[in-house]
Amino acid sequence: QVQLVESGGGLVQAGGSLRLSCAASGRAIRNYVVAWFRQSPGKEREFVALSYGVGDSTSYGDSVKGRFTISRDNAENMVYLQMNNLKVDDTAEYYCAARDMFRPTFDNWGQGTQVTVYS
The predicted pLDDT at position 53 comes to 77
Using pLDDT thresholds of 50, 70 and 90, give the confidence band for residue 55.
confident
The predicted pLDDT at position 8 comes to 98
Using pLDDT thresholds of 50, 70 and 90, give the confidence band for residue 2.
very high
Residue 33 has pLDDT above 80, yes or no: yes
What CA–CA distance (Å, rounded) separates 65 from 119? 21
Close Cβ partners of 35 (under 8 Å, ≥ 6 residues apart): 47, 48, 49, 50, 51, 70, 96, 97, 98, 106
Tens of pLDDT along 34-54?
999 999 999 999 999 999 976
Lowest mean pLDDT among 23-32, 51-60, 68-77, 109-118: 51-60
The predicted pLDDT at position 101 comes to 86
Mean pLDDT of 9-33: 96
**What residue spans of the chain are helical by DSSP H?**
none
The DSSP symbol for 41 reads T
Backbone angles phi, psi at 56, to 5 degrees: 60, 25
The predicted pLDDT at position 31 comes to 86
Q: How does the average pLDDT of the chain come out, rounded?
A: 95
The predicted pLDDT at position 47 comes to 98
Tell whether the torsion through CA atoms of 97, 99, 101 and 103 is positive or negative.
negative
